Amino acid sequence: MIYFLRHGSTDWNENLNGEGKKDPKCQGRCDLHLNDKGKKQALGAKEYLMAIKFDKIICSPLIRTKETLSIAYDGTAPIIYDNRIIERDFGEFEGLTRSEFDFNSFWNIYSNQNFNKAESILEVQNRVFNLLDELRDNPNENVLIVAHGGVGLVLMSYFEGVPEDGDYLNFELGTGKLKEFSFERILKR
């Protein structure tokens, strides 16, 4: 079983625009710490995670995921830091709010958007799917993956298929949220 935990909230996740409405900033490779809300979210996942015997933990090497893991889990499973589940490189969009560029198009696999520096969805998909293909070789292991929203979007498409309209944001999971996946359906294909 794969357990995916999105890191807890950071100040950029909670960014407000000039009108006081939530307008998160894109924090791909920017290495931010959890805020108080994010620490509480991680603590909220702890009781659930401690009831599971994990064979291994795979965590993004960025600070916000490491902090989430250190709060949410204090078991003995080996921890592997893996760059394949680092957040999408937002390139020229790093630090911009979702309303400052075409965020929806950025997360649509069928978009014709060209980027100067940003990583494409296919690049993210290749590295995340590579890891999941490895994990599929031992489908009965319990693995906790602690990563990012963008990684979660792609991870969900591995198990659920690409959304019909190509909009990966259909899979968006809130900060500090947990979701379970099984290789069972995939192995039957």
pLDDT of residue 185: 74
Q: Rounded distance, CA 101 to CA 31, Å?
A: 21
Strands (E), 60-142: 79-81
Domain tally, the chain: 1
The Cα 20–Cα 18 span in angstroms is 6
Q: What is the pLDDT of residue 189?
A: 59
In 28-53, which positions are buried (b, 16+ CB within 10 angstroms) versus exposed (e)? bebebebbebbbebbeebeeebeeee
pLDDT (0 to 100) of residue 45? 97
DSSP-derived 3-state class of residue 12: coil
pLDDT string in tens for the chain (189-residue length): 999 999 999 999 999 999 999 999 999 999 999 999 999 999 999 999 999 999 999 999 999 999 999 999 999 999 999 999 999 999 999 999 999 999 999 999 999 888 999 999 999 999 999 999 999 999 999 999 999 999 999 999 999 999 999 999 999 999 999 999 999 877 665
For the domain that residue 64 is a member of, what is the CATH number? Answer: 3.40.50.1240
Instruction: Name the residue range of residue 68's domain.
Output: 2-187
Q: What does the pLDDT read at residue 112?
A: 86
User: Distance (Å, rounded) from C-alpha 163 to C-alpha 171?
Assistant: 9
Distance separating alpha carbons of residues 178 and 180, to the nearest angstrom: 7
* E runs forming strands in the chain: 2-6, 56-59, 79-81, 143-147, 178-181
Read off the pTM. 0.95
Please list, in sequence order, all residues whose beta carbon lies within 8 angstroms of the beta carbon of residue 76, skipping any fewer than 6 positions away.
none
Token pair 């999408």 is at which residue? 88
What distances in angstroms separate CA 1 from CA 7, 123, 143, 162, one per listed residue?
Answer: 19, 25, 6, 20
**Residue 184 confidence (pLDDT):** 85
Structure tokens at 108: 């649509």
